[in-house]
Structure 1
């Protein structure tokens, strides 16, 4: 609440003219409150004495005061806007500048969007309400007490004592409520960041078989947020108890003191007027204050403090609040790797044999798949056998179904017809295959944690072998060794791909599927990584980004929408005009052609903007082309 009080004070100092206008129209607005008890008291006594005209005059004056107060209330909002809107603009500037400073000197701030949108809007919406509540309480209570003092100064005692006690009780609740509200706000930021990271890596979560772990992590964060919300709600009940006691206590106190007041010379009208001031002035003002400050006021105070923290707090090297526990930012090669809390696939008895076991056969029998019941099939009637230990490159134009085929083999998609078997079993077991998509998944943690995610028991020698095999050594040195922290936002797309390739190398799964997983690497780095994975025991399927992948592979699968052929590179050159055209088109491109920033020759017609697994009607005629049957090196009957 200190942040809220300080903010109100700063706003008052920065905009004195607007605040003066607000105060002036507030005085006009509370004129009926100040006159209410007087009019009631005087009219009651006048009616008792038979002076009806005088009584009606007082009541008429009260009606006129009400009209004046309504006009003042109408003019309040223009003055309020002159205070609130510039304050909101200042907050936006602070949040944006603070986020940019943090991004320049540290990791990406995943809570920035929540602060700039949801939290700033909370401030904008509630600051005006809190300002009106505080203003209304001060002027309404002041008007009621001034009116009571002019009616009978002795009324101040039974009216003010219960009010002060209620305010003290409310002040004791506020710090506890502020802590609970802060936990709710911070939980909101954590949940927003967690959901953002989860949605960005959904494909990889499915590929790694980590759905249950991610669901448990997100569900735990949701449960914590729900518990924080319930704690805030419980304190709302305590506030209502204070309101009930403090709002009616002045009325009861005036009534209890009535015999003493009348014995001291007060008239019945004076007692009735005191009750009127308590009911019409003190009780509504206290109600608005407790409801406003206890609800939206607490949210505003905590949100303001959080926004100020985010805007002003510097990020020091070695003191990153998002770094894994125990990391000091100075790890080097040869240190004992530091572990983070990132969940890994479970390792059970027999897993080591599966991960390092014999290559598996990939068999597709009559497989068909379409993205929707009425959609044109992407793959239709496909028969394919990839022998154990084979190195297959899949080539063809963009949108023809290459990434769809990779997802089917990896078990991320279920065929609409036909059967797929990997090692004699349905695909999808994360222990038996590794899939690396075009947008490689790297998480915030140590390099060692990223590399050993699929092989948690790998020793330093195996990690070093993988790093050297795929060409990751330079990046490892730059990060400060295997214990160095990986910030996904600070790595280039190619560097993230290298980390994912080394992870796949360490996993040593019987089947590895690369879905354009080297598209961000230069040709030499791509060749080194592909050959490293091909040398390992296991079956390798590469969705080719460049035709050089086909030259390195033992077999090539051509998907072009007209024919589907399988064979060696030289066999396809001799037998398939479509393959010869594809190779010839690739060879004819100048360095840097086809939109490749590395100056290499990608697959003809490749669309680098298409996210693997998200192929939607992007063929030459706006529709997916079907792929027919094939076995060995033969084509479909009737096809060239």
Structure 2
């Protein structure tokens, strides 16, 4: 999920509550009455009262200011009530979105409960609610308080208003220009914290294996690297506070300096002492605090809001977001995505067949995982389905097209195969990603990178325009780039042949879930049994008769599958249970 999704969801939340927002704006206008009148009333009290020797007149003007302050204080309570009418429904909708996504993933065929959904619901949603409310308050506070101060300054003396407005605009421009970099650093800080948590959890969960393999130094070094990365990201975020200070200095303090330096000149042009004092009040109690609150609020809570909501939307995407393909529903038709009939394949005329009279039908939108012991023929099946090798007998059809004899360019439009050894060529990252989809714009590429969890890798490389050198990439990094490239491809069938084996389990789940939501069909040659648990159907190859079914069905019917599941999850394999074979 990119920032566009955050902006769109925020706009939808505000647009749906236009009446409550109008009420909030109305009370904010009343609340700004003291900011509008303070400088003017003080100027009148000084010029018409105290300096003129009329004490009663001066006190009357100050009494009017006290009344204005009371009116503003009464309106403040109403603004918070109006704020709740906007924020709380948004929080409820976001919580419902998280719950629906968690239930969908847990109840779909092959799905598993997502423990991270609890953190999203109890922690991240609350962060979004609090920072959303804070953003509304600081934004409307700045608009009304700064606007009232500038109007008051203009009423006192237009030239003073111009002297104050110029540095204010410059300070705001500096802050706005730095916001994208601030958001990027805040996002990197959050991701570094997540990666540190994953590395620490993995090390703690596998400490016995680490000790048994003598890999303590390697694991400690990895965790130390994550700690250093997280600390560096935090220091960078802290340094960005200097940019906020610069914008505050320009927009908040510089107008005061300018007014004080120009005061003698202004007085010679007829500005009274009361007007100078009133202008100082407008700047010091109206304009400067409003800008300070805006910069600190947006630079702190606003960035946390954007990054946290972005994390939520990555797992609970908007229905038509370009980074979130719609959930696929199998729709069997006259031309299934894959139809293999009577396939027999052997690697030599006298060799034992790897597959014998094998048949498989895969409906459009289906999600199949292929599991089995090493060397049983899983990658061979992937190559046969992709049309890379011919079978000795039998046929393979993709969307009704027989792969044998089909032009390679036409075949590439029907399927994309990602092998275990991912191919990445020397060029820019964007060129690598556009290899199968040349018309993809930068926004689409960025959305795909974020969807498959490759955003941190892209930023580490230097962005879409950064050069990619395959030799300096790890096997996992090459696999991740190849996965994003395949996800972008227009082909309706994707075959992942152990294409995520060098990724950690969490990132592998992110990649496979992204492909599962992608329109089309998916075949995963599983490296881990967890891939089977995410699939809608599972095909077990064990050198005997292949078995096809759901996870629950195969647990009851296949001893091989039970052993694979037990080896992964530590589940006991029921003794003495032979695999039930289909007739």
Coarse TM-score class (shorter-chain normalised): 0.5 to 0.7
Which has more radius of gyration?
A: 1
The match for 2:147 is 142
Task: String of CA shifts for 1:266-308, please: whole Å, max 9, x gaps.
Answer: 2121122111101111000000000000011111122223322
Cα–Cα, structure 1 residues 74 and 495, in superposed 2: closer, same or farther, change >3 Å? farther
Cα distance change on mapping 1:186 and 1:288 into 2, 3 Å: same
Of 128, 150, 164, the residue aligned with 1:123 is 128
Cα distance change, pair 337–94 in 1 and its aligned pair in 2 (3 A): closer
- Give per-residue Cα distances to partners, 1:166-198, cap 9 Å, x unaligned: 000001110100111122233344444455555
1:195 and 1:304 map into 2 onto residues whose CA distance is 25
1:28 matched to 2:190? The reply is no
1:16 to 18, 42, 49: 18
Q: Given the superposition, is the C-alpha separation of residues 174 and 193 from structure 1 closer, same or farther in structure 2, using an over 3 Å criterion?
A: same
8 A Cα contact 1:158 1:257, kept in partner: no
Offset, 1:233: 1.1
Listed one character per residue, the Cα deviations across residues 217-257 of structure 1 (whole Å, up to 9, x for unaligned) are: 34433332222222111111221222123211111222233
CA contact (8 A) 2:248 2:292 kept: yes
1:83–1:341: structure 2 CA closer, same or farther, 3 Å change rule? closer
Q: Is the 8 A contact 1:15 1:83 kept in 2?
A: yes
Partner of 1:50, secondary structure, is: coil
Residue in structure 2 matched with residue 47 of structure 1 by the alignment? 50
Q: CA deviation at 1:211?
A: 4.7
Which of 146, 156, 161 is residue 161 of structure 2 equivalent to? 156
1:498 corresponds to which residue?
563
Match of 2:573 in 1: 520
1-side partners of 2:182 and 2:172: how far apart? 15
Query: Does the CA contact (< 8 Å) of 2:182 and 2:237 recur in 1?
Result: yes
CA deviation vs aligned residue, 1:447-487 (integer Å, no higher than 9, x gap): 6689xxxxxxxxxxxxxxxxxxxx982799779xxxxxxxx
TM superposition score normalised by structure 2: 0.57
Contact 2:5 2:313 in 1 (8 A): no
Q: 1:4 to 1:502 in 2, by over 3 A?
A: closer
Cα 1:478–1:73 shift into 2, 3 Å: farther
Q: CA RMSD in A?
A: 4.2
Q: Distance in 2 between matches of 1:499 and 1:322?
A: 27
- Sort the Cα spacing of 1:166 and 1:66 in 2 relative to 1 into closer, same or farther, 3 A: same
Q: Does 1:65 align with 2:134?
A: no
- Could you tell me whether the CA contact under 8 Å between 1:22 and 1:80 is conserved in 2? yes
CA distance in 2, matches of 1:156, 1:490: 77
Q: 1:177-196 residue pairs with structure 2 within 5 A?
A: 177-195=182-200
Matched, 1:298 2:303: yes
1:232 pairs, out of 237, 244, 262, with 237
Shift of 1:96: 2.7
Match of residue 473 from structure 1: 542
Check if 1:330 corresponds to 2:495: yes
Task: For 1:293 and 1:476, locate their aligned partners in 2 and report how far apart those are by CA, in whole Å.
Answer: 62
C-alpha separation in 2, matches of 1:223 and 1:237: 22
Q: CA separation of 1:62/1:152 partners in 2, compared to 1, >3 Å: closer, same or farther? A: same
Structure 2 CA distance for partners of 1:521 and 1:144, relative to 1, 3 Å: same
Give, in whole Å, the separation in 2 of the partners of 1:81 and 1:266.
Answer: 44
Q: How does 1:366-405 map to 2 (within 5 A)?
A: none
Question: Compared with structure 1, are the counterparts of its residues 448 and 37 closer, same or farther at alpha carbon in structure 2 (3 Å cutoff)?
Answer: closer
**Which of 258, 261, 270 is residue 265 of structure 1 equivalent to?**
270
Report SS of the residue matched to 2:316: helix
Cα offset for 1:84? 0.9
Give yes or no for contact 1:188–1:225 (8 Å, CA) kept in 2: yes
Given the superposition, is the C-alpha separation of residues 449 and 219 from structure 1 closer, same or farther in structure 2, using an over 3 Å criterion? farther
**Residues 181/67 of structure 1: CA separation in 2 closer, same or farther (3 Å cut):** same
**CA–CA distance in 2 between the matches of 1:97 and 1:496?**
31
Contact preservation (8 Å) 1:44, 1:269:
yes
After superposition, the Cα gap between the structure-2 partners of 1:501 and 1:100, relative to the gap in structure 1 and judged at 3 Å, is closer
- Aligned residue number for residue 92 of structure 1: 95
* CA distance in 2 between partners of 1:238 and 1:172 (Å): 10
Structure 1's 448 and 476: CA in aligned 2 closer, same or farther, altered over 3 A?
Answer: farther
Distance between the aligned counterparts of 1:98 and 1:322, measured in 2? 18
Query: Whole-Å Cα distance in 1 between the matches of residues 91 and 46 of structure 2?
Result: 49
- What TM-score do you get using the length of structure 1 for normalisation? 0.52
How far the C-alpha of 1:86 sits from its partner, in A, is 0.8
Return 5+ residue gaps in structure 1 as ranges: 344-444, 451-470, 480-487, 504-515, 527-640
Deviation for aligned residue 1:125: 1.6
CA displacement 1:603-639 (0-9 Å, x = unmatched): xxxxxxxxxxxxxxxxxxxxxxxxxxxxxxxxxxxxx
**How far apart in 1 are the matches of 2:148 and 2:554?**
64
Is the 1:111–1:189 contact (alpha carbons within 8 Å) kept by the matching residues of 2?
no
| Contact 1:248-1:283 at 8 Å conserved across structures | yes
CA distance in 2, matches of 1:62, 1:150: 16
Mind listing any 5+ residue stretches in structure 2 that lack a counterpart? Answer: 318-323, 329-366, 368-417, 419-447, 455-475, 487-493, 506-523, 530-539
Q: Counterparts in 2 of 1:335-374, with a 5 A limit? A: 340=502
- Establish whether residue 281 from structure 1 lines up as the match of residue 286 from structure 2: yes
- Asked if structure 2 preserves the Cα contact closer than 8 Å seen for 1:107 and 1:490, the reply is no
Distance 2:72 2:218 in 1: 61
* Residue matched to 2:428: none
SS at match of 2:240: helix
Q: Is the 8 A contact 1:36 1:277 kept in 2?
A: yes
Work out the number of aligned pairs and report it. 385
Q: Please, which moves more after superposition, 133-142 or 202-211?
A: 202-211
- In the alignment, the residues of structure 2 paired with residue 160 and residue 322 of structure 1 have an alpha-carbon distance, to the nearest angstrom, of 44
1:321 partnered with 2:452? yes
Residue 330 of structure 1: SS of its match in structure 2? strand
Partners of 2:50 and 2:157 in 1: how far apart? 19
